[in-house]
Structure 1
Amino acid sequence: MKSVLITGANRSIGLEIVKQLSKKGLFVYLGSRDLVKGEEVVAELAQNGFENVKAIQIDVTNQESVLAAKNSIEKEQGKLDILINNAGVLGAMPQNSSTTSIENIQETFDTNFFGVIRVTQLFLDLLKKSDSPRISNITSGLGSLTLHSDPTWKYYPFKAVSYVSSKTALNAFTVALAFELKDLPFKVNSIDPGYTATDFNNFNGPGSVESAASFIIKHTLTDENGPTGKFFSNDIEDESEESPW
């Protein structure tokens, strides 16, 4: 049975990914910063027929927390097949480039960028023990510099500096990591679930969590011939579903 860790998975898109992967027969670690909340969610899932789901405490901004999660999964599984770096924050608004404080930007980067690097680096040894390791970095279409340079793009006016720049940096990390691991069976991609209605954005997005989770899973559970070092977006109306960087 393949194992997967999903960070920030006790609600919204992360929780829906847990549900869909559980139904596909994977052993799912539901990463939650608050273990009590995570365990409450798992108990509810069990009552609704979802199996092989376990809550695990993981705060991506805390080295000791991430290391403890890694050690726990290593003891129980011996390896990890899939890492979905889903935990993310929007950051305090507004985020004008000329006035947003360094502290605001740093706080957003701590989760969206440095948190992903921390988790990925600490779990790489376990992922290397898998026959088909996958790393999916959950990004945003707002991280595309190409689209942000296009005045005709529908989200062109949204230039929130903390959030946008953290996702652009995350995409750069994906490219570098995919290149480093290209001679191993890893597939490393940035995946944008699209503008989805969640508590993250006061339920303003047009997309559903079901569609978002399904899209992420589609580009995560790939075979040995699957792409690596790509940026996929649920908001791209193109057969390739690839977003420009």
Structure 2
Amino acid sequence: MAAPIPPVVLITGANQGLGFAIAEIFSQSKQPYTVLVGARDQSRGEEAVTKLLSKKTNDKITVSAIQINLASSESITTALESIGKSYGRIDVLVNNAGIFGAPGKMWTSTTRPDWRAIFEVNVFGAIELVELAFPLLRKSSLPRVIVVTSNMGSITKVSQGHVPCGAVGAYYSSSKAAINAMVANWTQLQKDIKFWAVCPGLVATEFGGDFTKQHGRDPKDAADIVRMCAEGEKDDVVGYAIWDQDGKSGVYEW
């Protein structure tokens, strides 16, 4: 009889930045996992897998690349079909992929096509992936969905003056408010799956250019909150937008 497949963790946007750090956290866990490194470009995903395998600390963990582009319905469908055939289920879906501005226009996204590009990935693609993954998630005994968000998407915080990027970040902020609303809805409507919206804080990655690289915290520190959700350490705040930083943690208002 074939050995059972360890919990299947799909992480989008995992070939770099925070997504890579999340994949690294799982690849170095004491628990066995099947880590799927989602990447828009298959070759970049494979490069990330090579790096992760060189750092892997548990022989019961496997790491593989899967091509998935949240801006493409066809790519999402193809990826989920492949996962279904190979593994039969998804235990943890980490929706990490996202963009701050339109491609090539990080700080100057001022037109309808620019706004649409942001929402295609951060909202429409994220929603489509989660909803199309429901059948595979329901084949898990403990299905969990973790959506990486930002406190810039908290309408409460914005109304109180939390606009760190000003008008430049308004469309990113709005996209995160939209996906936050979906997490709140899924929590109410999909009672057999656990959901979190996770704010990693400012992380030292390429995501926001020089600003995030210079002022952000270590990506692995930020990634650990995702592991906490996956491994039951945040079950007391299921269905909320949460943060964990500098030894402190909490819930922020939608």
Is the 2:196–2:241 contact (alpha carbons within 8 Å) kept by the matching residues of 1?
yes
1:168 Cα deviation (Å)? Answer: 0.5
Cα deviation digits, residues 201-233 of structure 1 (max 9, x gap): 221333110111012221332279543220002
- Say if 2:24 is the partner of 1:14: no
**Which residue is 2:8 aligned to?**
3
Secondary structure of the residue aligned to 2:99 is coil
1:94 Cα deviation (Å)? Answer: 3.7
**Which residue is 1:244 aligned to?**
253
Is the 2:199–2:242 contact (alpha carbons within 8 Å) kept by the matching residues of 1?
yes
User: C-alpha separation between the residues in 1 aligned to 2:234 and 2:176?
Assistant: 27
- Say if 2:123 is the partner of 1:86: no
Secondary structure of the residue aligned to 1:9 is coil
Q: Give matches, 1:183-198, under 5 Å.
A: 184=192, 186-198=193-205
Change (3 A) 1:49 1:23: closer
Cα deviation digits, residues 54-112 of structure 1 (max 9, x gap): 0000011111111111111111111110100000001134468xxx2111111000000
1:2 Cα deviation (Å)? Answer: 0.5
**Which residue is 2:164 aligned to?**
155
**Which residue is 1:56 aligned to?**
66
Secondary structure of the residue aligned to 1:201 is coil
**Which residue is 1:139 aligned to?**
149
**Which residue is 2:47 aligned to?**
40
- The letter for the 1-side match of 2:229 is H
**Which residue is 2:117 aligned to?**
107
- The letter for the 1-side match of 2:187 is A
Q: Which moved more, 1:218-227 or 1:3-12?
A: 218-227
- The letter for the 2-side match of 1:83 is L
Cα deviation digits, residues 116-169 of structure 1 (max 9, x gap): 011111111000011110001100110011111223x58384662210100000
- Say if 2:101 is the partner of 1:71: no
1:234 Cα deviation (Å)? Answer: 3.3
Q: Which moved more, 1:3-12 or 1:209-218?
A: 209-218
**Which residue is 2:36 aligned to?**
29
* Unmatched segments (≥5 aa) in structure 1: none
Secondary structure of the residue aligned to 2:215 is coil
Size of the aligned set, in residue pairs, is 238
Is the 1:187–1:226 contact (alpha carbons within 8 Å) kept by the matching residues of 2?
no
- The letter for the 2-side match of 1:36 is S
Root mean square deviation, CA, Å: 2.2
User: C-alpha separation between the residues in 2 aligned to 1:154 and 1:143?
Assistant: 10
- Say if 2:182 is the partner of 1:199: no
Change (3 A) 1:15 1:40: same
Sequence identity, in percent? Answer: 32
- The letter for the 2-side match of 1:40 is E
Q: Which moved more, 1:154-163 or 1:100-109?
A: 154-163
- Identify the match of residue 175 of structure 1 among 179, 184, 193: 184
Change (3 A) 1:219 1:8: same
- Say if 2:241 is the partner of 1:228: no
Change (3 A) 1:5 1:67: same
